Structure 1
Amino acid sequence: MPVFWSGGAPIYYETHGRGRPLVLIHAISAGAGMWSAQVERFSQDHRVIVFDARGVGRSGPISGWWQVRDQIADDIAQLLTHLAEEQAAVCGVSFGGVIAQHFAARHPERVQRLIVVDAYSDTRPTSVGKALWLASVYAGSISNLLPPAALARLMRDQYRRWPHAADYLAEAVTRLRPLDALKTRCAINLVNYPPALNAANYPILGVVGENSWPRSLTFMEELRRAVPRTHLIRVPDSNDPTPLCQPEAFNAILADFLNDQ
């Protein structure tokens, strides 16, 4: 099992193919396996790097409750160093989209391109709507402590329109580590990345499913306005995570962006 050590914890990773490096950061608790369709497509002309984030799957636990985003972003930087890659295109979905932005803010010199999928960039409670959303996600974080069977039923119900996503996510939550999942959910709720993204010059792609969670479309539109070089694409009949719900459409969008010179 390929692992490297970062910050005192083993981090599981895989590399596939050769070429320009592409790092894929999974949705919360979903693990590296959620990217199988992207690995198959992009390993033809990229070195695709996937991993289990700290606190997920085959990787080690999260240390404490603080600086969780820093820990995971630094794990990615150490992984690139371990693989002798100076820079990479970095793509993250949902939780992974937040971590991708955090990595870009913390290690901007290592980002060639940034892809943010079904995520958000600025959740400061600057309006009533955002304050209510923030309160709801903090309150909802406790759902990570539900029994695995209950979480699996919830995934199958929420994703019944997308059977492949339903199957994968229902199985993934049976392996969820409740405390680590709670730590990551709390860690990503309050963020503000547009200042750091505007200070850099790498290309940015935003992707969002049109059937995603409440406020997802609003958050992604806010990213496009706050960071004008962001190109935003909405994917019909898709939920978060779009790479699982509409893999072929997502792969086509990502390929166009990666090949755009």
Structure 2
Amino acid sequence: MPNFKSDGVDLYFEETGAGDPIIWIHEFAADYRTWEAQVRRFSRDYRCITYNARGYPPSAVPEDPGAYTYVSHRDDVIRLMDHLDIEKAHLVGLSMGAYTGLQVVLEYPHRVRSLVFSSGGSGAPGASREKFRQDTFEGADRMLAEGMEAGAHGLAMGATRIQLLNKDPRGWEEFRRYMGEHSALGSALTLKNYQALRPSLYDYEERLKAVDVPVLLAVGDEDDPVIEASIYLKRTLPRAGLWMHPQTGHGMNIEEPDEYNRRIGEFLSAVERGAWRVRDNRANPGQSVFMGDRAEHRA
């Protein structure tokens, strides 16, 4: 079983295909298996690496709460790359994985070729931070008390997951089953020490403005907790593009796999051609629609 050690924690990974590397970083409610539709598509042209985060079997489940910080998750990506002798990679992250990917960009920009930031931003707005933390701790305590099966069903019936049930009942059942197989301890410690305690995206505004990495922001228009954060990132990251898919919830990659794959394929192609540009300063959202220097028009 392929694994590597990251700060003493054994992490499971799989790799498929050859070419430029893509590392797929899963969300809280998922694991490496939920990237299957993406691996089957992109391993035809790329070296695809999936892995399970700490706390997600067959990766190890540390008992120390301090092992579950966002910094630990961030550095796990770099240690995975080092283990596989990857100098630079495309990163694709969903939700918690999107946050991890963005943290890698902020700390190790020279190791990232591009980032797909999907469904990210839960708990980011300051006005909702305290409620988000309370809800997160309550969810963690429920998982510990009632087990993962109850926690998985409750989350799978949530407001941003019901879209998958309506579109693809078999896919929804598989998603719920996979989550039910997770470790209650690992999931609870992840919720309490990563999800609840990570800094808000809005805390990084000045650093985000300096990011020179191509970013595709992907969000469903019924994923209400993260839409505003995606718009904020579009206005803040110099090389970001925003794709919003209609009538779509949180798990975009399993809810709309064909369109998700198509958009990522187009994004990677643009990055590799050098065609994913920095936003033109003349597209300043504070500028009048009647953009106005007459001398510029004469030029």
Structure 1 position 185, deviation (Å) = 1.9
Q: 1:189-229, CA deviations, whole angstroms, 9 ceiling, x for partnerless residues? A: 442344333333110110001122x3221121111122242
Task: Indicate the residue corresponding to 2:141 in structure 1.
Answer: 142
Give ranges in structure 2 of 5+ residues lacking alignment. Answer: 274-299
Deviation at 1:81, TM superposition (A): 1.0
Please say if 1:255 is aligned against 2:261: no
Q: Which residue of 2 aligns with 1:207?
A: 218
Per the alignment, in what secondary structure is the counterpart of residue 54 of structure 1? coil
Q: Which residue of 2 aligns with 1:182?
A: 188
In the aligned structure 2, how far is the partner of 1:7 from the partner of 1:84? 17
Q: What residue is the counterpart of 1:107 in the other structure? A: 108
CA contact (8 A) 1:122 1:219 kept: no
Could you say if the C-alpha distance between residues 122 and 221 of structure 1 is closer, same or farther in structure 2, counting changes exceeding 3 Å? farther
1:205–1:257 contact (8 Å) kept in structure 2:
yes
Q: Structure 2 CA distance, aligned partners of 1:34 and 1:142?
A: 25
> Quick one: which amino acid aligns to residue 188 of structure 1?
Q
- 1:19 corresponds to which residue? 19
CA distance in 2, matches of 1:29, 1:101: 19
Partner of 1:216, secondary structure, is helix
1:37 corresponds to: 37
Instruction: Pick the aligned partner of 1:198 from 209, 228, 239.
Output: 209
Between the two proteins, the alignment pairs up a number of residues equal to: 258
Cα separation, 1, equivalents of 2:221 and 2:125: 23
2: distance between equivalents of 1:188 and 1:142? 14
Q: How far is the alpha carbon of 1:134 from its aligned partner? A: 4.8
Aligned residue for 2:279?
A: none
User: What does residue 54 of structure 1 align with?
Assistant: 54
Flag structure 1 segments of 5+ consecutive residues without an equivalent. none
In the TM superposition, residue 114 of structure 1 has moved relative to its aligned partner by: 0.9
Provide the rounded CA distance (Å) in 1 between the counterparts of 2:268 and 2:22. 9
Which structure would you say has the larger Rg?
A: 2
How high is the sequence identity, in percent, across the aligned residues? 26
The residue identity in structure 2 corresponding to 1:59 is S
Q: Deviations over 1:112-150 (max 9, x none)?
A: 10111001188262xx34554454444444343333332
Residue 95 of structure 1: how far off its partner (Å): 1.1
- Aligned partner of 1:107: which letter? Y
What's the offset of the Cα at 1:92?
A: 0.5
RMSD: 2.2
